[in-house]
Amino acid sequence: MLGAATRPAATLASGSMAYAYFVVHQPEALFPTQNGGVEAALYAWAFLAIAVLGAGPWSIDALWHRRSAAVVPA
């Protein structure tokens, strides 16, 4: 919710949605519109996009990154 460890959490969520799609829905038919797996496929791609893009500039991760970059050892 605050953006802490967003990328690992989104990667795990994307993998679980992809697993749900391929194990539960894909054996029935190939395409998500045919097998009822539209939501699982959509969430898998959305979580993958969040894992790649990150939490955003106002997240706790971005704040930690800005603070660690500002403190440069002499």
Residue 27 lies in a domain: yes
Residue 22 lies in a domain: yes
Please tell me the distance from the alpha carbon of residue 54 to that of residue 42, in angstroms, as a whole number. 18
Residue 1 lies in a domain: no
Q: What is the pTM of this model?
A: 0.79
Residue 12 lies in a domain: yes
34-50 average pLDDT score = 96
Please tell me the distance from the alpha carbon of residue 64 to that of residue 23, in angstroms, as a whole number. 38
- The domain total for the chain is 1
32-38 average pLDDT score = 94
The better pLDDT of the pair 18, 70 is held by 18
Domain residue limits at 54: 6-70
Tokens standing for residue 32: 């998500």
Residue 65 lies in a domain: yes
Q: Is the confidence at residue 55, as pLDDT, over 70?
A: yes
Give the pLDDT band (50/70/90) at residue 1: low
Give the pLDDT band (50/70/90) at residue 2: confident
